[in-house]
């Protein structure tokens, strides 16, 4: 009798290393030494630059290798900001970019690499490189040359975009956030220093932590999980469910912050290997783009309801989720709900500013997101999405 064998291919991402628990100044000095970089262009969160000494310590490490500092990246990574930064980096003959900040700054560095590698000097030229969704719901990406310069990321939130090779970038003229990607847009190194995250607003750190929980949960419950991402995702949930409540209770606990950073890193292994997500991510993309809900909050309000909707299809996989979150025997949706509540994060669409008159448009637009089409339980039209939105209302 033929046995059913698990089949697949694991691809390692084009990243040299992840440095964790090492102070930023020490880790950065070593990275510069290894690369012999001569012109490092720094892209940083405006708040970090203005209100903390983090960027001053980076300046001290770089000395005369500092090629410039750009601290004006707007939320959702506007095209105009990206191209302005790329033009500055080009003029400075930068041979390395360093980011210190959240997802918008990380995405901006990916886009700067794309601009430098593809001779983009004006925002409208990015039209040639954006992805589009086919009528079948597939993501198509145009040919794109590799980045002109690689980067090192020092993340301050937990959404884990620094471990992927895709970037979201907003066309402010048309009010639409678009996706760009080519393999080497991923940073060549990531430095996880929990001390840098103490300046991140509490709501942002904790809610992006739930975003990381969402990555891990939807990968475990996916229609095409892989052995490697299963192992990493389950451990991600253990680390995040342990670390996030401690950070809430004791914001200065660096060991707990590092647990959260390591959990966020592990939550992304499926994304690196084609494990498809479900409707929490799919609807979340639209809530972000249409209703301006921060990504962490989209996971807080949608993930429990998507789990309940999917339970008839993947109840066995959901038991693994509950166990990894420290509540064996409970329903996964209830465990996730309890974690979100314990962190004082919003639980409903009302809480995050979504208006009732937006729900039908969100439901319609969600059907254009690829992750809605790969949800474990089939979603065959906007009416089903609307039911999920109503449950989350």
- Rounded to two decimals, what is the model's pTM? 0.96
Q: Check if the beta carbon of residue 339 is closer than 8 Å to that of residue 325.
A: yes
How many Cα atoms are found within 13 Å in the side-chain-facing hemisphere of 144?
30
What is the largest distance, in Å, between two alpha-carbon atoms of the chain? Answer: 69
Q: Check if the beta carbon of residue 212 is closer than 8 Å to that of residue 236.
A: yes
Q: 3-state DSSP call for residue 251?
A: coil
Alpha carbon distance 100, 54 (integer Å): 9
pLDDT of 228 higher than 80: yes
Alpha carbon distance 333, 304 (integer Å): 5
Q: What is the mean pLDDT of residues 255-275?
A: 97
322: Cβ contacts below 8 Å, ≥ 6 apart: 328, 329, 330, 331, 332, 335
How much of the chain exceeds pLDDT 90, in percent?
90
Residue whose C-alpha is closest to residue 310's, from 391, 238, 232: 391
225: Cβ contacts below 8 Å, ≥ 6 apart: 219, 270, 275, 317
Tens digit of pLDDT for each residue in 312-352? 999 999 999 999 999 999 999 999 999 999 999 999 999 99
Identify the pLDDT of residue 221. 98
Identify the pLDDT of residue 2. 59
Identify the pLDDT of residue 370. 87
Alpha carbon distance 253, 251 (integer Å): 6
Reading phi first (left if > 0) and then psi (alpha if -120 to 50, else beta), residue 366 is in: alpha
pLDDT of 1 higher than 70: no
Alpha carbon distance 65, 29 (integer Å): 11
Q: 3-state DSSP call for residue 329?
A: coil
Strand 132-133 versus strand 96-101 pairing type? unpaired
Domains of the chain in sequence order: 17-195 (3.40.50.1970), 201-392 (1.20.1090.10)
pLDDT of 297 higher than 80: yes
- Which residues in the chain belong to E strands, given as ranges? 17-20, 40-44, 66-70, 96-101, 132-133, 139-140, 151-155, 166-171, 176-181, 189-192
Alpha carbon distance 273, 163 (integer Å): 12
Residue whose C-alpha is closest to residue 196's, from 41, 12, 55: 55
Task: Supply angle C-alpha 103, 55, 72, rounded to 5.
Answer: 50
Strand partners, 189: 17, 152
Token pair 């937006």: residue: 358
Alpha carbon distance 86, 116 (integer Å): 7
Tens digit of pLDDT for each residue in 2-54? 578 989 999 999 999 999 999 999 999 999 999 999 999 999 999 999 999 99
Identify the pLDDT of residue 137. 64
Q: How confident is the model at residue 176 (pLDDT cuts 50, 70, 90)?
A: confident
Alpha carbon distance 181, 165 (integer Å): 6
Alpha carbon distance 348, 362 (integer Å): 15
- 25 sits in which H/E element: helix 24-35
Residue 133 phi, psi dihedral angles, 5° rounding: -100, 130
């Amino acid at each position: 009798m033929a046995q059913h064998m698990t089949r697949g291919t694991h691809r390692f991402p084009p990243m040299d290393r992840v440095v964790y628990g090492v102070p930023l100044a020490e880790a950065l000095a070593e990275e510069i030494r290894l690369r012999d970089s001569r012109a490092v262009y720094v892209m940083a969160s405006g708040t970090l630059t203005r209100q903390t000494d983090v960027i001053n310590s980076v300046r001290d490490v770089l000395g005369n290798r500092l090629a410039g500092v750009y601290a004006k990246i707007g939320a959702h990574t506007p095209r105009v900001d990206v191209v302005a930064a790329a033009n500055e980096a080009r003029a400075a003959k930068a041979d390395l970019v360093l980011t210190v900040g959240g997802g918008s700054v990380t995405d901006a560095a990916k886009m700067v690499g794309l601009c430098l590698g593809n001779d983009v000097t004006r925002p409208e030229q990015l039209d040639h490189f954006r992805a589009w969704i086919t009528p079948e719901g597939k993501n198509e990406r145009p040919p794109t040359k590799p980045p002109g310069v690689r980067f090192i990321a020092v993340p301050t939130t937990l959404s884990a975009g620094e471990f992927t090779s895709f970037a979201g970038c907003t066309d402010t003229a048309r009010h639409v956030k678009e996706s760009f990607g080519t393999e080497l847009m991923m940073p060549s190194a990531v430095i996880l220093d929990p001390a840098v995250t103490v300046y991140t607003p509490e709501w942002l750190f904790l809610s992006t932590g739930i975003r990381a929980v969402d990555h891990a949960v939807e990968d475990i419950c996916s229609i095409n999980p892989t052995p490697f991402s299963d192992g990493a995702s389950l451990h991600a949930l253990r680390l995040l469910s342990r670390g996030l409540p401690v950070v809430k209770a004791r914001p200065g606990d660096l060991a707990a912050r590092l647990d959260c950073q390591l959990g966020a890193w592990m939550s992304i292994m499926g994304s690196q290997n084609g494990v498809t997500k479900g409707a929490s991510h799919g609807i979340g993309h639209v809530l972000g783009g249409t209703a301006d809900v921060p990504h962490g909050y989209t996971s807080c309000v949608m993930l429990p309801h998507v789990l309940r909707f999917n339970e008839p299809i993947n109840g066995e996989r959901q038991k693994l989720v509950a166990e990894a979150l420290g509540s064996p025997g409970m329903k996964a949706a209830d465990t996730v709900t309890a974690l979100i509540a314990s962190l004082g994060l919003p639980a409903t669409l009302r809480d995050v500013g979504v208006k009732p008159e937006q729900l039908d448009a969100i439901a319609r637009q969600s059907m254009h997101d690829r992750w809605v089409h790969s949800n474990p339980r089939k979603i065959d039209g906007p009416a089903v999405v609307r039911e999920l939105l109503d449950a989350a209302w």
